[in-house]
Amino acid sequence: MTTAFLFPGQGAQAVGMGADAYAGFAAARAVFDEADAALGMPLTRLILEGPAVELTRTENAQPAILCVSVALLRAAEERLGPAAPAPAFAAGHSVGEYAALVAAGALSLADGVRLARTRGELMQAACDETPSGMAALIGLTLEPALRACEGTGAQVANVNSAEQIVIGGPNAALEQAVANAKAAGARRAIPLDVAGAFHTEAMRPAQAGLERALSGAALARPSAPVVANTTALPIDEPEALREELAAQLCGCVHWSRSVEYMASAGVARFVEFGPGKTLAGLVKRIVPGASALAVPDLDAIGAL
């Protein structure tokens, strides 16, 4: 069965995530240990013990989610051995794209967690500079959501499924766009618990710093194409991957189109490695009938 590997983004973090993989598999412990060494900080202790208020800080949550996602993948590979599935594609939502690149061998784990940490620090600084936020619109499709943002300064940040659109922007702009969306028929507008408006122009102050960090990272051709957030098309050229990581900072995450592309290319099974089950749930809505399995713990590895 043709398989794609998926990796979640910020918001999936929880204290204790990955604990059973850490305890049960040497390959997973090696990921945690390497992440600690690369960052020069006890990321493992923060992941396993908290406190939650520190883990959820953007500069901590992003490398933590990457670390746990890759650790779960390595635990699955250790447990399943030759029976472990090989993906035809990899894709990650927002910072999950960095995990996808690590999983596909295009980016080292050390560079991945360092880039995720730097990205988080830069994004937090941009959030501090311009107070902003995000809201998930339920029951509104893309075109009305785009119109709701017109003239407000808010933008569509994530297209997660046909009727789950996330918008973001400076606080006043977001408030106006939400009001427009409700007037256009959105059933609900759910404020997201994030530091600011990721994947919008509110992150522009972070752009130059992230590009400098990316210029110093070694990128290789991935073992499987990575489906890009900004275009929903596969990339396997290192420089194109570097450009994608820079572009998605302020660019919309086209998750629904990414999943649709992989399904159209023959993918019948989607496996999400990382905390939570959000992406697997979205797959079931985007491609009814597709196999979608979340692997947030060891029990799920057995199912795989």
Residues 6+ apart with CB under 8 A from 142: 156, 159, 162, 165
The dotted CATH code for 132-191 is 3.30.70.250
The radius of gyration computed from the CA coordinates of the chain, to the nearest angstrom, equals 18
CA separation, residue 217 to residues 65, 112, 154, 227, 276 (Å) = 19, 9, 32, 20, 29
Report which secondary-structure segment, H or E, holds 49.
helix 43-49
Q: Write out the residue limits of the CATH 3.40.366.10 domain(s) in the chain.
A: 3-128+201-303
Contact status, residue 217 vs residue 115, Cβ threshold 8 Å: yes
How would you class 257 by CB atoms within 10 Å of its CB: exposed for 0-12, middle for 13-18, buried for 19 or more? Answer: middle
pTM above 0.75, yes or no: yes
Q: What is the pLDDT of residues 32-87, one digit of tens each?
A: 999 999 999 999 999 999 999 999 999 999 999 999 999 999 999 999 999 888 99
- 304 pLDDT more than 90: no
Q: Which residues contact 36 (CB under 8 A, 6 or more apart)?
A: 42, 43, 44
Residues of the chain with CATH 3.30.70.250: 132-191
For the stretch 227-252, pLDDT in tens is 999 999 999 999 999 999 999 999 99
| The CATH number fitting domain 3-128+201-303, selected from 1.10.4080.10, 3.30.930.10, 3.40.50.150, 3.40.366.10 | 3.40.366.10
Q: Which residues belong to the active site?
A: 94, 199
Amino acid making up residue 127: C
Closest CA to 163 of 196, 183, 189: 189
